[in-house]
Amino acid sequence: MNVKVRPQLLSLKAYTPGKSSEEVQREYNLEKIVKLASNENPYGTSPLVKEAISLNNFAIYPDGASTALRKEVAEYTGVKEDQLIFSSGLDELIEIISKALLDENFNTVMASGTFPQYRHNAVIQNAEIREVPLKNGRHDLPAMAKQIDDKTQVVWICNPNNPTGTYVDDKELEQFLQSIPSHVLVVMDEAYYEYVTAEDYPETIPLLDQYDNLMVLRTFSKAFGLASFRVGYGIGAASFIQQLEVVRLPFNTSVLAQNAALAALGDLEFVEKSVSLNAIELQKYYEFCKQHQIDYYPSQGNFIFISIPGKESAEVFQYLLERGYTVRPFPNGVRITVGTKEENEELFELIEKIVLIAH
Ligand SMILES: Cc1ncc(COP(=O)(O)O)c(C=O)c1O
């Protein structure tokens, strides 16, 4: 094969989804598989979504401007319609922003130990990547600010951070925004926004009036339970959003995705219920971890990062997998999506056994 991709792609791996639940179930002869690896909503989706997703004409393109959804999201978030851009999940919006802002002449600043798509897209764009280690699992904003220079185009702040669940608070963020030059786009990835309970978590939408270099990312994949449909959105200065629109594919969100998101917005009670159950279950995780001397970060998302002293995360992952629970392993711990009460109780029993082996 003489066709060659650009050299920077050679250092990247394509996303590998891992074994399907069916494969794992067959391999280990399991009655069921509980997927707690990708931070989906364990309570599913609002029943209104099912009613809303019938199509009567498959041959017609979707509304490329997402007009109806735009109106509802503008109302839900309290912004103007022209401040919004829609995407096929936030994965695509991260790609759009990277394409619009990054190439070999620029750099981008992010945490190391955060959502991997910021880095992945920066590599594709051949931009210089400046990664700043997390400090106690949290973004170190003063250290990130120090990495910024006149070639910096975008800073990524994952808030709450995936995989640690930690957050940047309102004071830290304001100090950071005041301290950096206005040519730098600050992306606040708030994929888990609806789950947040901390009182000093920054409300970023009001800050958009003050900082036109700020952009907020939200998704329907998590608390709204629509991960399979792929709908996310960004909020920013209207003039900047207009420029990003140039990069967006014309029909990037399908008719079904737009209709599903609209229906989900019509059932905020479902979201509230999911969020309050998540908070209750997270508390149980904290108590469980304390009781068993398991290290963890308090989380603002629907997941928790834990580390069992004396146990390799790959071993913990494999042990749970063979017993029907899929979680996400990292070098220094595992990230577990907070499941339903029953799922969590079963998982606690399994983890208790690992702890006993470890001690
Ligand atoms: C922090 C963060 N950002 C973005 C995404 C991508 O979400 P989406 O499903 O909207 O593409 C995820 C998904 O796990 C995430 O955790």
Residue 358: band (very low, low, confident or very high) from pLDDT cuts 50, 70, 90: low
Instruction: Reply yes or no on whether the pLDDT at 260 is more than 80.
Output: yes
pLDDT, tens digit (0-9, with 9 covering 90-100), for 105-123 = 999 999 999 999 999 999 9
Q: Is the CB of 152 under 6 A from ligand 1?
A: no
90 lines ligand 1 (CB under 6 A): yes
Identify the band that residue 21 occupies on the pLDDT scale cut at 50, 70 and 90: confident
Which domains, from first to last, does the chain contain? 8-37+269-358 (3.90.1150.10), 49-265 (3.40.640.10)
Q: 26-30, 64-68, 133-137: which has the minimum mean pLDDT?
A: 26-30
Spatial CB neighbours of 58, under 8 Å, sequence gap ≥ 6: none
Residue nearest to ligand 1 atom 12, measured at CA: 191
Which ligand 1 atom minimizes the distance to the CA of 88?
A: 11
Contact present, 240 and 154 (Cβ < 8 Å): no
Q: Is the pLDDT at 331 greater than 80, yes or no?
A: yes
Contact 234 CB / ligand 1 (< 6 Å): no
Long-range contacts of 47-53 (CB under 8 A, 24+ apart): 47/267, 47/270, 48/263, 48/264, 48/266, 48/267, 48/270, 49/225, 49/226, 49/260, 49/263, 49/264, 49/267, 51/263, 52/259, 52/260, 52/262, 52/263, 53/256, 53/259, 53/260, 53/263
Nearest CA, atom 2, ligand 1: 191
**For ligand 1, is residue 188 a contact (CB within 6 Å)?**
no
What's the pTM value of the predicted model, to 2 decimals? 0.97
- Centre of ligand 1 to C-alpha 219, Å, is 7
Does 68 score more than 80 pLDDT? yes
Which residue's CA is the nearest one to ligand 1's atom 4?
90
Residues 172-199 have a mean pLDDT of 98
Residue 359: per-residue pLDDT: 59
- The answer, yes or no, to whether any atom of ligand 1 lies below 6 A from the CB of 191, is yes
- Edge-to-edge strand list for the sheet holding 107-112: 84-87, 232-235, 214-219, 185-189, 152-158, 107-112, 128-133
Is the distance from the beta carbon of residue 91 to the nearest atom of ligand 1 less than 6 Å? Answer: yes
Question: 280: which residues sit within 8 A by CB, 6+ positions away?
Answer: none
Q: How far is the CA of 17 from the centre of ligand 1 (A)?
A: 14
What local confidence, expressed as pLDDT, does residue 97 receive?
98
Average pLDDT over residues 70-75: 98
Of ligand 1's listed atoms, the one at least distance from the Cα of 161 is 1
Atom number, ligand 1, closest to the C-alpha of residue 221: 9
Is the pLDDT assigned to residue 17 strictly greater than 80? no
Q: Is the CB of 158 under 6 A from ligand 1?
A: yes
> Which backbone phi and psi does 163 adopt, to 5 degrees?
-105, 0
Kindly give the number of the ligand 1 atom that is closest to the alpha carbon of 115: 1
Q: How far is the CA of 69 from the centre of ligand 1 (A)?
A: 20
Kindly tell me if the per-residue pLDDT of 18 is higher than 80. no
Model confidence at 197: pLDDT above 70: yes
Ligand 1 contact, 163 CB (< 6 A): no
Tell how far the Cα of 3 is from the centroid of ligand 1, in angstroms: 32
Using the predicted structure, report yes or no on whether residue 254 has a pLDDT greater than 80: yes
pLDDT band for 218, please (50, 70, 90 cuts). very high
pLDDT at 150: 98
Cα of 89 vs centre of ligand 1, distance in Å, is 7
Instruction: Quote the ligand 1 centre to 191 CA distance (angstroms).
Output: 6
> How many angstroms separate the alpha carbon of residue 94 from the centre of ligand 1?
9
